[in-house]
Amino acid sequence: MLNIIVEISKYLILIIMLLYTLESFWVFRYEEDYDQRYVLRNQLLLIIFLDFTAFLVIFLQTEELKVLYIFGTLILYLVIVQALYRVFYKTSSILLLNHMCMLLSVGFIMLARLDPDSGLRQMAIAVAATVLAMVIPVMIRKMYFLKKLTWLYAVVGFLMLLVVLVVGSNVNGAKININIGSFTFQPSEFVKIIFVFFVASRLYKKSATFRDHVITTAVAAAYVLVLVLSRDLGSAVVFFITYVVMLYVATKKPVYLLAGLGSGCGAAVIAYFLFSHVRQRVVAWSDPFSVWETSGYQILQGLFAIGAGGWFGVGLCKGSPELIPFVQQDYMFAAICEELGSLFAICMILVCMSMFLLVVNISLRIKKRFYKLIALGLGTEYAFQVFLTIGGVSKFIPMTGITLPLVSYGGSSVLATIIMLAIIQGLYILREDEDEEFERQKEKI
């Protein structure tokens, strides 16, 4: 009987996800505010329905009480966050909020299934992060001096990365974390935000000269270099791409884009010959069977998982994603493919894409250049991180070892991503304020 429930739930979950994804793109077709709100409310219901189905199936099979705790807190969390935003930040982007809730939900479903203990830990962090992030939109509105702290950002961010390089703990050859007491802290997740603030504060002035750009580029290059030395290749690539995109949009000079991408390819080739750990990743990607015992093991286990799942997945708790080393941190995507299916995973990719386009759209509509660039930078970081992790896990590109924002297990990652989204919400609200102001002024005239 249980088998049949799991089997049915598999398709039900997929249908819910399909509907949600469709509505993510459909919502833009409605001109009327009323219709949009209806769709957005509908999405929230779908998220809750999805959680209910998935957690029920997991609980029936594991009979683990912690699964129910996670489910209870998650639903409470969803309802409260949505209510708070709708009450206090009436003009915030509810679609962005929905996407955050959806991706968090998928993450918690998989964590409850893989390891309820880490699910509970992640829940505590997500709740704390959200409480913290509630004040961010207000801060954005009040703190006019944010764009003047250029060199503070540069120094703080750089020092944080340097600390990791020097005293960071070694995990699988890469220095990514710092241990403080019993807490593990991943500074690069927060430096990502600081970095965007730095770059935006350097580039937002239209008066910036070529010399200014050279200095900014040098600082950005120093960041990337430190990350490469710490062997945090994923973050290095994310920082790099983000900088190139921001520079291009700020200066509107395609030559920067081409030069940036060109030198990036050049740097990748040099890194390949210079660093054995880069070569190792490339070998594990091009022929994982040849290094089955070492670096190919994880990637092959991931592929076996994706293959086992097929289009529709094997159903929650029916697969064996635990065979993949570090599945909760690095290989969440493979676990999702195995148990919920590739179609579900594709929907998730589309939701991530929708999230990115939404952020770009917000950036486009903001008038103040500093804020515009921040929104764009954060959006770019998010999108490229998604691409790197999913592409790496599915062996589309070499593995860089980076988390899937909001879905993977990792306190720093969740905290930083929620803060990131709160900043974007703050900017969105600011933009709405600008519009209102504009309307008022127009009326006066």
Residues making contact with other proteins (CB under 8 A): 1, 3-4, 7, 245, 248-249, 252, 254, 257, 289, 292, 300, 303-308, 310-311, 319-320, 323, 342, 345-346, 349-350, 352-353, 356-357, 360, 363-364, 376, 380, 383-384, 386-387, 390-391, 394, 396
CB of 303 to other proteins, least distance (A): 5
Q: Which residues does residue 183 pair with via DSSP β-bridges, in sequence order? A: 180
Toward other proteins, which CB reaches closer, 105 or 363?
363
CB of 390 to other proteins, least distance (A): 6
Toward other proteins, which CB reaches closer, 206 or 252?
252
C-alpha–C-alpha distance, residues 16 and 8, integer Å: 12
The DSSP line for 271-286 is HHHH-HHHHHHHHHHH
Toward other proteins, which CB reaches closer, 363 or 413?
363
Toward other proteins, which CB reaches closer, 319 or 405?
319
46: nearest Cα among 268, 347, 257: 347
Residue 409 main-chain phi, psi, to 5 deg:
-80, 135
DSSP-derived letter for residue 149 is -
User: 3-state DSSP call for residue 174?
Assistant: strand
184: nearest Cα among 121, 277, 109: 121
Toward other proteins, which CB reaches closer, 41 or 365?
365
C-alpha–C-alpha distance, residues 377 and 123, integer Å: 27
CB of 235 to other proteins, least distance (A): 18
CB of 27 to other proteins, least distance (A): 17
CB of 242 to other proteins, least distance (A): 11
Toward other proteins, which CB reaches closer, 137 or 309?
309
CB of 224 to other proteins, least distance (A): 20
CA-based torsion, 124, 89, 427, 97: positive or negative: positive
Which pair of structure tokens corresponds to residue 334?
A: 């493979």
Helices vs strands, H then E, count in the chain: 17, 3
Decide: 196 and 363 in contact? Cβ < 8 Å: no
Toward other proteins, which CB reaches closer, 136 or 335?
335
CB of 5 to other proteins, least distance (A): 10
